[in-house]
A and B are shown apart, each in its own frame.
Chain A
């Protein structure tokens, strides 16, 4: 709670109404709650563990019932300890609420923001805080606007591939360590704060891609759209030939397209990467080349066999 208050004090124009020490509570859920029904007397289902927002509706209700009733309401809610109470529109704080929060040692904050505006923003912030995340040993590059996450064992050539892509005008997000965060149904990747856009190239050492290639070569965050696994070529292994059955892989609970590229000497992974990205863009725009080609082929064969049976039929007739 303390982190939240100091980080967003200015941005959300927050104003603490209780003593500093009340900031000891912990926000444990990303959801916000409007306690209208709880105030009106129904506490059967009351998400008291969430941040409580008092908007115009709740405030007007509290205002209309008068002091005695308010005392009764907050007396009843005394057993439910919420992590935070917020009053929007800089509404006047009712004595009775303040009293309850003081005895519970729970913070009250007022804000000049409107309720909806405030809720949307805070919800977003909290969702980010509570989002499932992980760090992976991989590299993330924006290729033609498609976020490509390169995975594969050490020394397989991830960094070299990334460097080649940057050289061709694509943008590096992170190399070696990528932090992945789930946001809604997307996976957002970003680099390590200390590492920045530095890369380690075997034989050279540490280089700063931002300084070497300029601002056009870097990017801070990117949605992950394709996972590319670089694999040493294995004799006898079957690689995807048609592209009719695209692979998917699970990244923190979200399915993401996956491509396995076998690498062997003389193979240009960079060009293949660009093709993967462009093919992905085509698919996003509803054009699946592999599928269309196959449909055309099946259609051709159908026509052929129809013709064949016709000729066969006609020969039979004339025989």
Chain B
């Protein structure tokens, strides 16, 4: 298992559109992708799970990946966070 701590740096937090992008990125990998925020665990392959974290701008999220392609999955998610979820 590998993990990294990421900050939400876009303007409006993880709402439906960023969440859809996260799920799109996570489902490409075989590994399990888990987001942990304030002790809440969410499966990154479920859009409802991700949205219900209600990760506001500036929130810290611990991302854990576990599986055969865990490092690739982790860097893909990290890149997505750094790109401010492409829009907004």
Query: B17 near A244 (CB under 8 angstroms)?
Result: yes
Of the stretches B19-27, B64-72, B73-81, the one at the interface is B19-27
- Residue numbers in A under 8 Å from B19 (CB-CB): 242
Name B2-30 residues within 8 Å CB distance of A: 12-17, 19-20, 23-24, 28
Query: A290 near B16 (CB under 8 angstroms)?
Result: yes
- Residue numbers in B under 8 Å from A300 (CB-CB): 54
In the assembly, what is the distance between CA of A294 and CA of B16, in Å?
Answer: 6
Query: A238 near B24 (CB under 8 angstroms)?
Result: yes
The answer to the question of B36 belonging to the interface, with a C-beta cut-off of 8 Å to chain A, is no
Chain A residue with minimal CB distance to B88? A298
Name A204-238 residues within 8 Å CB distance of B: 236, 238
Nearest chain A CB to B29's CB is how many angstroms away?
11
In the assembly, what is the distance between CA of A236 and CA of B57, in Å?
Answer: 30
In the assembly, what is the distance between CA of A241 and CA of B22, in Å?
Answer: 11
Name B24-82 residues within 8 Å CB distance of A: 24, 28, 47, 51, 54-59
The answer to the question of A302 belonging to the interface, with a C-beta cut-off of 8 Å to chain B, is yes
The answer to the question of A311 belonging to the interface, with a C-beta cut-off of 8 Å to chain B, is no
Query: What is the total number of residues of chain A having a CB less than 8 Å from a CB of chain B?
Result: 16
Known A-B contacts A241-B23, A242-B16; the reply to A301 vs B28 at CB < 8 A is no
Query: A297 near B24 (CB under 8 angstroms)?
Result: no
Nearest chain A CB to B33's CB is how many angstroms away?
15
Q: Give which listed residue, B20, B23, B56, contacts A305 with CB less than 8 A.
A: B56
Nearest chain A CB to B38's CB is how many angstroms away?
10
In the assembly, what is the distance between CA of A55 and CA of B28, in Å?
Answer: 70
Query: What is the total number of residues of chain B having a CB less than 8 Å from a CB of chain A?
Result: 19
In the assembly, what is the distance between CA of A305 and CA of B58, in Å?
Answer: 7
Chain B residue with minimal CB distance to A245? B17
The answer to the question of A304 belonging to the interface, with a C-beta cut-off of 8 Å to chain B, is yes
Q: Give which listed residue, A298, A304, A305, contacts B15 with CB less than 8 A.
A: A298
In the assembly, what is the distance between CA of A114 and CA of B54, in Å?
Answer: 66
Scoring A242, A244, A290, A302 by chain B CB atoms within 10 A of each residue's CB, the highest score goes to A242
Name A264-319 residues within 8 Å CB distance of B: 290, 293-294, 297-298, 300-302, 304-305, 308
- Residue numbers in A under 8 Å from B55 (CB-CB): 301
Chain B residue with minimal CB distance to A305? B56
Scoring B12, B23, B55 by chain A CB atoms within 10 A of each residue's CB, the highest score goes to B12
Query: B13 near A298 (CB under 8 angstroms)?
Result: yes
In the assembly, what is the distance between CA of A294 and CA of B51, in Å?
Answer: 9
- Residue numbers in A under 8 Å from B58 (CB-CB): 305, 308
- Residue numbers in B under 8 Å from A305 (CB-CB): 13, 56-59
Q: Give which listed residue, B17, B20, B57, contacts A301 with CB less than 8 A.
A: B57
Known A-B contacts A241-B23, A308-B56; the reply to A301 vs B16 at CB < 8 A is no
Chain B residue with minimal CB distance to A244? B16
Known A-B contacts A238-B24, A244-B16; the reply to A297 vs B56 at CB < 8 A is no
Q: Which residues in B have some Cβ–Cβ distance to A below 8 Å? A: 12-17, 19-20, 23-24, 28, 47, 51, 54-59
Listed A/B pairs (12) with beta-carbon separation below 8 Å: A238-B24, A241-B20, A242-B19, A244-B16, A244-B20, A293-B16, A297-B51, A297-B54, A300-B54, A301-B13, A301-B15, A305-B59
List 7 A-B pairs, minimum CB-CB distance, nearest first: A301-B13, A301-B56, A294-B16, A305-B56, A304-B56, A242-B16, A241-B20
Given A244-B20, A302-B56, 5 further pairs, Cβ under 8 A: A244-B17, A294-B15, A304-B54, A305-B58, A305-B59
